[in-house]
Amino acid sequence: MSISRMLDSLPGTMPTLEDIYRDLHAHPEFAYSEHRTAGIVAESLRKAGYEVTEGIGVTGVVGVLRNGDGPTVMLRADMDALPVEEKTGLDYASTATMIDETGQAVPLMHACGHDVHVTCLLGAAQQLATSTDLWSGTLVALFQPAEEGRGGALRMIEDDVFGIVGNPDVVLGQHVLPYAAGTVGYRAGAMLAAADSFEARVFGRGAHGSRPETGIDPIVMAASIVMKLQTIVSREVAANEQVVLTVGALHAGTKANIIPDHADLKLSIRTYDRGVTERVEAAVRRVIEAECISAGSPRPPEITELSRFDATVNDPRATDRVVQALKSELGDDQVVEIDPIMISEDVGEFGKAAGAPSVYWALGCVDPKTYAEALAEGKIEEQIPSNHSPLFAPAVQPTLTTGVTALVTAAAAWLSAD
Ligand code: ZN
Ligand code: ZN
């Protein structure tokens, strides 16, 4: 089959790709600041013969390779890193920092593996560019900024990415997740949850730490809110409705002996059903407002929406086409159906905006032996660091080879002459 021939030169280019991966890993960049990464991407795409447009949605890059008649396939990767201090101990670990909005230095890390996504898509773009006699159609390689809750996909769409590159017939992409490297996980229909984030400021009355009776303590108020919010999922949601509610940030005060006058919380709601989202969101607002009243807060809380992502839904027919191709290339055992996951993504925005089906799959990234041992001991959660952990360290191989192979294979399911 021609797909294998499309990958003929991959072993030869893999050492360079591994270097690119380690370099990207050591130089993470925050949302909409992915300038260095975007520069590496643009240069690599140009070298491979792509028509390149930079600066779409601030730092987004898109490369187009027109190769005769046929469908337009879009492959997507995300480029941004996270404000996490890396503790992997890898010799290419990040020591990068950035200055946040409050003027403080914050560590940065590719803790979600977007460096893997970028490297694999560059590798796939190269393979497809050196095998144009084996396929026909148009390939779009899209690198988006700011996936982590900052709406990078929508920014690129608003910046008219499809006006520049044309409407794709299918949108394909992958995300590293803590499964065995060498495997790919798929799911037809809803695969990743909707995620809606909010911040809430609750108000107290500042006072000396020795005289709480003269103040209203927003820290106690916030602590009470955090605990009370836990009862929404356990007491207000049916057992068969999937919901996760996480308070991911809680900030208040500066000194041990000062009662501050406000506290800030940030929280995320993950759901699969928009009706359930509405109920949970209403309950969150009710709990926060009621706890403020209960504490005698001088002002109502300010609750602001930070971001909204819809669930990521894989088109069943397109998924079947990808899965058949992946199974014939990687082997049946390496392509496994997975359960829906509560993480979220904005990759689905591209397919929705283009009116095209999209397929997103999980790329295993844990050393297969380590994974098998943890699985045998029933200690996956305990022993395998997940995305966003300071210990998240994808095994370079076979992750990169599988990631490139999966992208080329899935694209070829539309583009291949076979
Ligand atoms: Zn992430
Ligand atoms: Zn991610």
**What is the C-alpha separation between 36 and 29, in angstroms, rounded?**
8
The b/e string for 370-386 (b: 16+ C-beta within 10 A; e otherwise) is ebeebeeeeeeeeebbe
pLDDT digits (tens, 9 = 90+) for 114-145: 999 999 999 999 999 999 999 999 999 999 99
The proportion of the chain whose per-residue pLDDT surpasses 90, expressed as a percent, equals: 95
User: What is the arithmetic mean of pLDDT over 160-186?
Assistant: 97
Q: Look at residue 417 and tell me whether its pLDDT is greater than 70.
A: no
pLDDT digits (tens, 9 = 90+) for 222-231: 999 999 999 9
Q: Look at residue 185 and tell me whether its pLDDT is greater than 60.
A: yes
CATH architecture, domain defined by 194-308:
2-Layer Sandwich (3.30)
Instruction: Check if the beta carbon of residue 182 is closer than 8 Å to that of residue 334.
Output: yes
Instruction: Check if the beta carbon of residue 356 is closer than 8 Å to that of residue 167.
Output: yes
- The identity of residue 58, as a single letter, is V
386 Cα–ligand 1 center, Å: 10
pTM: 0.89
**What is the C-alpha separation between 320 and 147, in angstroms, rounded?**
26
288 Cα–ligand 1 center, Å: 27
pLDDT for residue 199:
98
pLDDT for residue 258:
98
Q: Residue 78 CA: which ligand is closest?
A: 2
In SS3 terms, 296-323 reads as CCCCCCEEEEEEEECCEEECHHHHHHHH
296 Cα–ligand 2 center, Å: 41
Q: Look at residue 1 and tell me whether its pLDDT is greater than 60.
A: no
The CA-CA-CA angle for residues 382, 388, 391, to 5°, reads 55
Residue 418: band (very low, low, confident or very high) from pLDDT cuts 50, 70, 90? low
pLDDT for residue 149:
80
149 Cα–ligand 2 center, Å: 10
CATH of domain 3-192+311-412: 3.40.630.10
200 Cα–ligand 1 center, Å: 22
List the domain boundaries for the chain. Answer: 3-192+311-412, 194-308
45 Cα–ligand 2 center, Å: 22
* Average pLDDT of every residue of the chain: 96
**What is the C-alpha separation between 15 and 388, in angstroms, rounded?**
27
- CB within 5 A of ion ligand 1: which residues? 112
